[in-house]
Amino acid sequence: MQGVDAVVVGAGFGGLYMLYRLRELGLTVRVIEAGSGVGGTWYWNRYPGARCDTETMQYSYSFSPELQQEWRWTEKFAGQPEILAYANHVADRFDLRRDITFNTSVVSATYDEEHDRWSVVTDADETIDSRFVFMATGCLSTARMPDFPGMSSFNGRTYHTGHWPHEGVDFAGRRVAVIGTGSSAIQSIPMIAQQAKHVAVFQRTPNYSIPARNVPMTDDYERQWKSDYPALRQQQKRTRTGILNGLNDVSAMAVSDDERQRQYEQRWLTGGTTFMASFNDLVTNKDSNHTAAEFVRQQIKATVRDPAVAELLTPRDYPIGTKRICADTAYFETFNRDNVTLVDIRKAPIDRIVADGIVAAETTHAVDDIVFATGFDAMTGALLKVDIRGRGGVSLRDKWNAGPRAYLGIATAGFPNLFMITGPGSPSVLSNMIVSIEQHVEWLTDCIRHMQNCQMHVIEPTLAAEDAWVEHVNKAAHRTLYPSAASWYMGANIPGKPRVFMPYIGGVGRYREECDEIAAKGYEGFTLAPAGGAPVAAPRAL
């Protein structure tokens, strides 16, 4: 059995950076990665049209001034191949690969209370003995396949957007079904429609989407960012979303109708999800939200030629932004093509899959290929896939039976020295993921340095601090409109999953302050203990 200081699970952006920092602390590290390469979400999600909907000058690491100066993005919103190339560059530039084991999954992690060590078992039947475990498993990494009756009887090809073949897929001359209309579908449908003979889009819930208006990177724009990167990165960290989006810090209700319309039109023309920064209360004030939603509905009506199709594509029963807002390239326009049809499976759900197609409302839609753009078991899926057992053999699955419970979204009581990068209860998916990843990794690096300095071996949150944090996260969510949508943020896309708003909506700026304050108070809410010793830091609730 090999012994190391730390096991990091996952070699996406979180795992790569965690490895880099742990090495700096002088720790021995093993990174275990299921894929054959680095990049996490950008390794798996290779569907046509996959691209980041945060500007890549902002969706990139800030920890290395040299890296952020030398890397050159070719587009405002980089596509998946370029982001994956960037992840590979980072792995090479910082010589990270030598500590990563690829094509291997962690199946269990068990805490040995006698020795204060974790025993991490992989599907290669290796057991690694480690002091720390860092779960850098990603928030949207467990692809979710629905279980329609007859799935196995289908004679054609099937794909999931979150698990796309590396060699790509040729849809030329094929009749393709796409199930789902979330971000992945909205990006891939226009691309598939350009190739396929016919595309049938199976929609359960229409989505709000803003044109991305992606453009090639210009030297000028790049220079503006790079000449001021340190200051701009600092500003990003203090925002709500970790994105400099030109937030218009007034209520939509505080301006005239004309001014409101002007603001929406300008944002619509600029493109991208920063549309939601048109006003400061779009996700907290129903009336304000209604004005933004109505504006988008009008754009759909003006874009889609067939009024019945336009109406079906128009979201009406949840506030804009409370399901993840999408950014697209010609999504609504694609429904004007002769080779694209929209199938409403809200009124007439899919009954079953048969050998040659999909049956909904007794109509068989004959297709050659099915693309499942059906999303992920978000935030908790990848964590609970691993059989994690803490003190007393208690499993994380049992502990989180009624929903995830974690202090700061970083650690959970009863599971000492086990950490989550962007776990439930932290801003994570409500923010620029790289900003949130860097904040967690740096906070944890400081925490472990603190443990080294005061010769502490074990750290663990108290139940009282964890309970108070979970309550804080819930209260923050219920001050917004988010819980009113049946979204994956709420676990609503997975039958039987507890309905709990999982990310922390306080904003990355405020969250950072809260984390820093806890660290400054000697890691308040955590207990620390020396090797083989009793806890020495008094547990104090928030």
Contacting positions for ligand NAP (CB under 6 A): 51-53, 140, 146, 161, 179-185, 187, 204-205, 324, 345, 373-376, 429, 488, 493
Minimum distance from residue 93 beta carbon to ligand NAP (Å): 24
3-state helix/strand/coil string of 73-135:
CCECCCEHHHHHHHHHHHHHHCCCHHHEECCCCEEEEEEECCCCEEEEEECCCCEEEEEEEEE
Q: Tell me how far, at minimum, the Cβ of 453 lies from ligand NAP, in Å.
A: 38
Distances (CA, A) of 521 to 360, 444, 452, 517: 59, 15, 17, 6
Question: How are beta strands 198-203 and 175-179 bridged, if at all?
Answer: parallel
Nearer to ligand NAP, 62 or 431 (CB): 431
Rounded-to-integer distance, Cα 437 and Cα 432, Å: 9
The amino acid sitting at 230 is P
Compare residues 52 and 447 and give the one whose CB is closer to ligand NAP. 52
Q: Would you say 46 or 389 has its CB closer to ligand NAP?
A: 46
Distance between CA atoms of residues 472 and 492, nearest Å: 21
Residue whose CB is less far from ligand NAP, 414 or 425: 425
Residue 229 is encoded by which pair of tokens? 């990167």
User: Shortest CA distance to 498 belongs to which of 395, 380, 401?
Assistant: 401
Query: Minimal distance in Å, beta carbon 17 to ligand NAP?
Result: 19
Q: Are 255 and 285 in contact (CB under 8 A)?
A: no
Asked if 80 and 222 count as a contact pair (C-beta separation under 8 A), the reply is no
Report the nearest approach of ligand NAP to the CB of residue 327 (Å): 6
Question: For residues 292 and 320, is the Cβ–Cβ distance under 8 A?
Answer: yes
Structure token digits, residue 488: 């994956």
CB of 509 to ligand NAP, least distance (A): 20
CB of 375 to ligand NAP, least distance (A): 3
| Nearer Cβ to ligand NAP (54/239) | 54
User: Is the Cβ of residue 87 or residue 185 nearer to ligand NAP in the bound state?
Assistant: 185
Shorter beta-carbon distance to ligand NAP: residue 205 or 341: 205
Nearest approach in angstroms of CB 295 to ligand NAP is 21
Q: Which of 288, 291, 239 is nearest to 265 (CA)?
A: 291
Kindly tell me which of 28 and 205 has the beta carbon lying closer to ligand NAP. 205
- The minimum distance between CB 15 and ligand NAP, in angstroms, equals 18
User: Which position's Cβ is nearest ligand NAP?
Assistant: 182
Cα–Cα dist 23/29, whole Å: 7
